[in-house]
Amino acid sequence: MPTSDKLVNSNDQDFIDLFHHQVKENTPYANYVRALGISPDAVKHWSEIPALPTDAFKSTNNPSCLADKEKQTTFLTSGTTTETKGAHHFSNTSTYEKSILSGWEHCKLPPLHPQTLILTPSGKDTPHSSLSHMFETLKLEICPTAEFIMTDNIVDISKVIAAAQSGQPVTLLGTALAFLQVFDALQDLGSKLQFAPASWALETGGYKGTERSLSKEELYLLFEQNLKIAESNIWNEYSMTELSSQFYTSGIGAPHIGPPSTRIKVIHPENGEQVGVGEMGYLVIYDLANVESCLAIRTQDLAIYHDPQSFTLIGRDPSALPRGCSRALAM
């Protein structure tokens, strides 16, 4: 099993070692590997490790290395009241939190300003949200002055306006739909804000399952028009409940990059073979921080492959079921 230093200084063998550990301890995953006709001993490279589809986390036979009594924290995927939610179990969240912080540092995100507004509910209000837990971790470890400004899925627009009027640089963290809520509120007020230079924003999540649909270019134009935050000062975070690590990009056009504890490949939708550089397919992520579940996750997102730690995100497969951190805000 990887130690915290492996999150910073990992090598290919660490992925193989964790794979063998999970085949022994994670019965649902071991059954899946056997069903594919794959011998664990025949897996010699991380890219050969069988990836589990995200839908497996919605199964009653959840892919976990933990006994029920060991499951102290559970993060749930977003979903409708009738849709089965995926569950990711942890005995404790220390490795998850170390992964957040080491990834934040490795991907060289800007410092959080003392005036940081978080456009999600707090972890206390949404204990099963991995995104809220991530932001709680950043607040606790990096920016104690950060403030959560969403209650009952409503952003406190007065806090946003006051931050802009302070004249001090501000950091805004939230989902794409939370930012759209801010833009709509400003439009209703007939107001546009101008944040101080050096202000920056991080947005995450998408629009599937809602009536909203904007390209990244359209969304970032709204940041410029309503907040005077340029696209070069906007970051995007890509992750999901089934993962413990995050990928980041800034502006428009640059690929997402991940920390050393991750690897990625992109596979052809029809034959499952790995595509070449510059080609598109389904994104598969290998995450060493997924110690107690499954390190190899096959997403339902389309991406262009660059190298084992970077990709250009195209978006959700149109035939896939809606999901994502942004959804809850549209209900």
Q: Which two tokens stand for residue 48?
A: 């050969």
CA 297 to chain centre: 13
- Residue 266 inside a domain? The answer is no
- Residue 40 inside a domain? The answer is no
Mean pLDDT over 6-16 rounds to 86
- Residue 280 inside a domain? The answer is no
pLDDT single digits (tens) 115-172: 999 999 999 999 999 999 999 999 999 999 999 999 999 999 999 999 999 999 999 9
- Give the side-chain half-sphere CA count within 13 A for 273: 5
Q: How far apart are CA 204 and CA 17, in angstroms?
A: 32
Counted domains in the chain = 1
pLDDT single digits (tens) 67-120: 999 999 999 998 655 578 999 999 999 999 999 999 999 999 999 999 999 999
The CATH number given to whatever domain includes residue 232 is 3.40.50.980
Choose the weakest-confidence range: 4-18, 117-131, 184-198: 4-18
Global confidence as pTM: 0.92
H or E element at residue 197: none
Alpha-helix runs per DSSP H in 167-215: 176-189
β-bridge pairing 200-204 and 171-175: parallel
CA distances from 292 to 70, 95, 199, 256, 284 (A): 10, 10, 37, 25, 18
Domain containing 106 equals 96-254+319-330
CA distances from 130 to 86, 100, 101, 114 (A): 12, 11, 14, 23
- Residue 277 inside a domain? The answer is no
